[in-house]
A = this chain, B = another copy of it.
Amino acid sequence: MNAYHIIAKKRDGRRLSEEEIEYIVLGYAQNKIPDYQISALTMAIYLNGMDFGETAALTRIMLDSGIRMNFEAVPGFKADKHSTGGVGDKVSLILAPMVAAAGVKVPMISGRGLGHSGGTLDKLEAIPGFRTNLSEDEFYRQIEEIGVSLIGQTERIAPADRKMYALRDATATVESIPLITASILSKKLAEGIDGLVLDVKTGKGAFMKTPERSRELAESLVKTAQLNGLPTRALITRMDEPLGFAVGNWLETKESIECLRGHGPEDLMRVTLALSAQMLLMAGVADSEQQAMQQLNRAIASGAALQKFCDIVERQGGDLTYIHHPERYPKSRFEYRIEAPRDGYINEINALDVGVAVVQLGGGRQVMEDQIDYKAGVMLHHKVGDFVAKGETLAVLYTDRQTVIEAVSASLAAAIRISEHAPNKDDLIVEMTGAES
């Protein structure tokens, strides 16, 4: 067996055996196989694909390149949620404490934002002092004691994936369904969870722009997880306009706190509750969706979900001052109001354009090394379907970068399309995969 023949096989559209995938992926993790052979292989996989069996083998091998956490000593069902990434997607910040308050353990390992798409770790780190780099021991202990923790990928979790992802990111092979699947699931399987709920985004602000591609990804994720013994369900949800009103790290954390106080935007809560309910159903703490919804609403209404969020912040070193008094958070040097150019119905708020605007305002990263301005972002004042009068505020942008305001406000104004006709609004939840499992 050698790397050349494995590359040639995939180049010719043939199936790789588990032994071949193991040889080349573990060889790469152990620095025995050079970058340039793996980038040729991942391009061949991008263009020729992998079947579910190959994808499952790749996932298992990337998982086995590192450790697998073991929560068997912690009683109760352990579940996690993962989103394929969107704009204004702060679901994890609401879902994790709410689901934990309802009695499911949530050992969540999250990612950072890159490009137009935000990341949970950045939103949490917008809270001064918040540590996402807990040791494995601290992580275990926190799950044991408060039932929930949100951290970043450690050195020991799926190192083959980390190395391969960095290479794919430099060689234009990120958007491959088998490679995305193995990357996501190798990390989720390492969490040692009992069930997984996936939020596969579809639409203008998602990696997958069409329902067909999103469905393909959802099926690949669900089948591959199940082949690796992890019960998994996927919701396909729309990501055409941003989720909620806030886009930008601190703005989103603040909106999440509002949600936990019971004042969440309808669209954001619709998606968060739907995903959370699946976790409760998988865990068996609710018998029906209706019952799950009641328990979740009770967690909010009773203040238990907000309290759990405060527990997380406190345990992970965050300053609670800003949770109780968000108005004390430092302000951006510049605020710029975007007005409706005419009367009409908002037909589109292009999530991709808003995401890109936030990066330009300082609130995101072009490359992983970029520093983030947590205050920077965009607050929408309206959602698609709203009627606005000429001159009314459509959005406010927040930034310390005076020089970008003109260009960003123009592109944001162009991203919000107003028409005399009210748009049709489809349900945010497109469909679910994997419920029969």
Contact = CB atoms under 8 A, between A and B. Distances in A.
Q: How many copies of this chain does one complex carry?
A: 2
Given A35-B35, A36-B35, A11 B43 contact: yes
Interface in A1-33: 4-5, 7-8, 11
9 contacts: A11-B173, A34-B36, A36-B170, A37-B170, A39-B39, A40-B171, A43-B47, A44-B47, A47-B48
Contacts of A35: 34-36
Interface residues of A, number: 23
Nearest to A167: B36
A37 B5 CA distance: 20
A34 B166 CA distance: 14
Contacts of A34: 35-36, 170
A38 interface: yes
B7 A171 contact: yes
Contacts of A5: 172
Contacts of A110: none
Give the residue among A7, A170, A171 with the most B Cβ atoms within 10 A: A171
A237 interface: no
Contact of A11 (B11, B38, B170, B172): B172
Contacts of A44: 43, 47
Nearest to A9: B172
Given A36-B38, A44-B47, 14 more contacts: A4-B170, A4-B172, A11-B47, A11-B173, A34-B170, A35-B36, A36-B170, A37-B39, A39-B40, A40-B40, A40-B171, A40-B173, A43-B43, A43-B44
